[in-house]
A and B are shown apart, each in its own frame.
Chain A
Amino acid sequence: NAGVTQTPKFQVLKTGQSMTLQCAQDMNHNSMYWYRQDPGMGLRLIYYSASEGTTDKGEVPNGYNVSRLNKREFSLRLESAAPSQTSVYFCASSEAGGTNYGYTFGSGTRLTVV
């Protein structure tokens, strides 16, 4: 009954370092998403995967790459972290795309780039 699991929960990086945020869902959902949320702001879509084998850019994709490893897993990679990428990152999944399917969100990864 885990839903959407994100790892790690917290991470501090130095500018220029790379890291991968992991996300896995156990609900057999087809679509998965990565959002970032800056303090006091709403969520902004980074990348999404409508189905296994496909990925597309969202509103703020620069500086990020994604991999839909299989139906369960969708990872987000920062190749060269910058202080502007300090944020809370949320992964979400839904049965399918479109607004008539509710999204299930993970608990987030709080990333600080110094």
Chain B
Amino acid sequence: LAKTTQPISMDSYEGQEVNITCSHNNIATNDYITWYQQFPSQGPRFIIQGYKTKVTNEVASLFIPADRKSSTLSLPRVSLSDTAVYYCLVGAGGYNKLIFGAGTRLAVHP
């Protein structure tokens, strides 16, 4: 299984760019990297997914270096509503399931 390591918590202020880095040294060739966001009392919500290089959507950007052993989720100009837990997930090879770690608790302050 590809284990992930990410910071337990981060603090930021409104308007700043936030970068959350995830390590996944044992990522398999076929694995994608996926990030989810979870607000209190809600289920996780898919944010972005990538395989290599850079992916951007309306919410975030995902940067993946050539060796794919880490990835960085970038949230531009965060607001208070971005306060949430962010999970980095990597697939377990051919298994049909995602394993969640503890995630990164992001707190955005006024």
Contacts and interface: CB of A to CB of B under 8 A. Distances in A.
Contact of B97 (A42, A97, A108): A97
B44 A48 contact: no
25 contacts: A4-B43, A33-B97, A33-B98, A35-B100, A42-B102, A42-B103, A43-B44, A45-B100, A56-B96, A90-B43, A96-B96, A97-B96, A98-B30, A98-B94, A99-B31, A99-B89, A99-B92, A100-B91, A103-B44, A104-B46, A105-B43, A105-B45, A106-B43, A108-B42, A108-B43
Nearest to A105: B43
B101 A107 contact: no
A42 B89 CA distance: 11
Contacts of B87: 42-43
Interface in B69-94: 87, 89-92, 94
Contact of B44 (A31, A96, A100, A105): A105
Given A45-B100, A97-B97, 20 more contacts: A35-B100, A41-B102, A48-B96, A58-B97, A59-B99, A90-B43, A90-B44, A96-B96, A97-B95, A97-B96, A98-B32, A99-B31, A99-B34, A99-B92, A99-B98, A102-B34, A103-B46, A103-B98, A104-B46, A108-B42
B61 interface: no
A45 B34 CA distance: 17
Interface string B49-65: 10100000000000000
Main secondary structure of the interface of B (DSSP, over half): loop
A48 B89 CA distance: 17
